[in-house]
Structure 1
Amino acid sequence: MTDSTLKGLYEVVKNRKENPEEGSYTCYLFDKGLDKILKKCGEENAEMIIAAKNHDNDELANEMCDLIYHMLVLMVENGVSLEDVMDILEQRRQKIGNLKTFHQVDKES
Structure 2
Amino acid sequence: MKLEQFYEIITERKKTMPDNSYVASLFREGCDRIIQKIGEEATEVVIAAKNSDKKRLIEEISDLWFHMLVLLASKNISLDEINEELEKRQK
List runs of 5+ in structure 2 lacking aligned partners.
Answer: none
Paired position in structure 2 for 1:12: 9
Describe how 1:1-109 pairs up with structure 2 within 5 A. 5-92=2-89, 94-95=90-91
List runs of 5+ in structure 1 lacking aligned partners.
Answer: 96-109
Alpha-carbon distance between aligned partners in 2 of 1:42 and 1:86, rounded to the nearest angstrom: 23
The number of residues matched between the two structures is 91
TM-score (norm 1): 0.79
TM-score (norm 2): 0.94
Alpha-carbon distance between aligned partners in 2 of 1:90 and 1:62, rounded to the nearest angstrom: 27
Higher fraction of helix: 2
Q: After the TM superposition, list the runs of 4 or more consecutive aligned residues in structure 1 that deviate by more than 2 angstroms.
A: none
Aligned-residue sequence identity (percent) comes to 44
What's the C-alpha RMSD, in Å, of the aligned pairs? Answer: 1.2
SS at match of 1:11: helix
- TM-fit CA distance, 1:91: 2.0
Higher CA-based Rg: 1
Alpha-carbon distance between aligned partners in 2 of 1:26 and 1:78, rounded to the nearest angstrom: 14
Larger relative CO (CA 8 A, sep 6+): 1 or 2? 2
- TM-fit CA distance, 1:44: 0.2
Alpha-carbon distance between aligned partners in 2 of 1:50 and 1:88, rounded to the nearest angstrom: 28
